[in-house]
């Protein structure tokens, strides 16, 4: 087949920037919402498994006796702050202030790194006390859920670093599209934050 070579027409994909009047969304925004729906199912399955395993267990430990609540609280604060700075980054672009954008997205990245560093210390403390995933089903679900969440944080760092660094060149020639990109990166980041807000009480407090 010769697609890609046969005609000389130039085409434009509709609704990459301007919203579709029917759905009120531009393509990528619908795309990210769909992706997040699948993420809800992913973490939903894990949370359901947690409930099922917990109710069928005879001796489920209390999370607060094993995990470090102050560190967990700190990390919750850090992530919530990063969500706020993420919104500020987007708002700065809306107000055409590229410098502020750089600052706020940079702060978001900083928070993400702080989160991971704190997590690293928590993990090493557990290993130090010989608490491994195989130790108990509680530890297993703790490491699986926080590990998967950590991978999502790393994914967010990669995307946001790109948008902070080389990807931000788009601001010069397609400012609107770039603003949209920050918006959907933000939606993802809020989701990652939201997952943690569920994880923290479920694993640390209950």
Partner 1 sequence: MAHDSNHQDSHHPKHGFWRTYVFNTDHKMIALWYGITALCFLLFGFGLVMLMRWQLAYPEQPLPLIGKWFGPTRMPDGVMLPEFYNQLGAMHGTIMVFMGIVPLAVGAYGNFLIPLMIGAPDMAFPKINLASYWAFFIGGVVMLASFFVPGGAASSGWTSYTPLAVIATTGQTMWIIGMIFLITSSLLGAVNFIATIFQMRAPGLSFMKLPFFIWAQLVTAFLLLLAFPPLEAAGVMQLMDRVAHTSFFMPSGLVVSGEHLKISGGGSVLLWQHLFWFLAHPEVYVLILPAMGIISEIIANNTRKPLWGYKGMVYSIVILGLLSFIVWAHHMFITGMGTTISAFFQATTMIISIPSVVILTALFISLWGGSIRFNIPMLFALAFLPMFGIGGLTGLPLGLSSPDIQLHDTYYVIGHFHYIVAPGTIFALFAGIYYWFPKITGRKMNDLLGHLHFWPSLICMNLVFMPMMIQGLAGVSRRLYDGGASYAHAQGVLHLNVLMSHAAWVMAVFQIPFIINIFWSLYKGQKASDNPWESTTMEWATATPPPHGNFAFDPKVYRGPYEYSVPGATQDYTPQCQEKVI
| Residue placing its CB nearer to partner 1 in the complex, 17 or 84 | 17
Tell me the closest approach of the beta carbon of residue 25 to partner 1, in angstroms. 8
Give one word for 4, left, alpha or beta, with left for phi > 0 and alpha for psi -120 to 50. Answer: left
Instruction: For residue 37, state whether it binds partner 1 (rule: CB under 8 A).
Output: yes
Rule CB under 8 A: choose which of 118, 148, 159, 194 binds partner 1. 148
Instruction: For residue 8, state whether it binds partner 1 (rule: CB under 8 A).
Output: yes
Contacts for 3 with CB less than 8 Å, ≥ 6 apart = none
Rule CB under 8 A: choose which of 74, 122, 123, 135 binds partner 1. 135
Rule CB under 8 A: choose which of 2, 95, 166, 172 binds partner 1. 2
End-to-end CA distance of the chain: 60
- The answer to whether the Cα torsion of 81, 84, 86, 88 is positive or negative is negative
Q: Give the separation between CA 187 and CA 54, rounded to whole angstroms.
A: 31
Tell me the closest approach of the beta carbon of residue 190 to partner 1, in angstroms. 18
Instruction: For residue 42, state whether it binds partner 1 (rule: CB under 8 A).
Output: yes
Asked if residue 152 lies in contact with residue 192, where contact means CB atoms within 8 angstroms, the answer is yes
Residue 183 in tokens: 């918006």
In this structure, the chain runs to a length of: 206
| Residue placing its CB nearer to partner 1 in the complex, 104 or 188 | 188
Residue 84 in tokens: 């706020």
Instruction: For residue 23, state whether it binds partner 1 (rule: CB under 8 A).
Output: yes
Residues found near partner 1 in the complex (CB under 8 A): 1-17, 20, 22-23, 25, 27-28, 30-31, 34-35, 37-39, 41-46, 49, 52-53, 56-58, 132-137, 140-141, 143-144, 148, 173-174, 177
């Amino acid at each position: 087949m010769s697609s890609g070579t046969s005609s000389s027409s130039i085409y434009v994909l509709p609704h990459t920037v301007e919203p579709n009047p029917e759905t009120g969304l531009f393509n990528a925004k619908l795309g990210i919402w769909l992706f997040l729906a699948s993420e809800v199912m992913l973490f939903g399955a894990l949370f359901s498994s947690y409930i099922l395993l917990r109710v069928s267990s005879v001796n489920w430990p209390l999370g607060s006796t094993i995990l470090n609540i102050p560190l967990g609280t700190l990390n919750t604060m850090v992530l919530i702050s990063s969500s706020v700075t993420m919104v500020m980054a987007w708002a700065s672009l809306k107000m055409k202030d590229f410098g502020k954008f750089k600052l706020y997205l940079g702060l978001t990245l900083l928070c993400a790194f702080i989160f991971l560093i704190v997590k690293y210390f928590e993990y090493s403390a557990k290993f130090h006390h010989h608490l491994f995933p195989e130790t108990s089903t509680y530890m297993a679900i703790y490491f699986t859920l926080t590990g998967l969440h950590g991978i999502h944080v790393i994914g967010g760092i990669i995307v946001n670093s790109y948008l902070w660094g080389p990807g931000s060149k788009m601001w010069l020639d397609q400012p609107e599209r770039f603003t949209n990109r920050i918006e959907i990166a933000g939606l993802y980041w809020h989701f990652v934050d939201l997952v943690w807000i569920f994880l923290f009480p479920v694993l640390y407090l209950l």
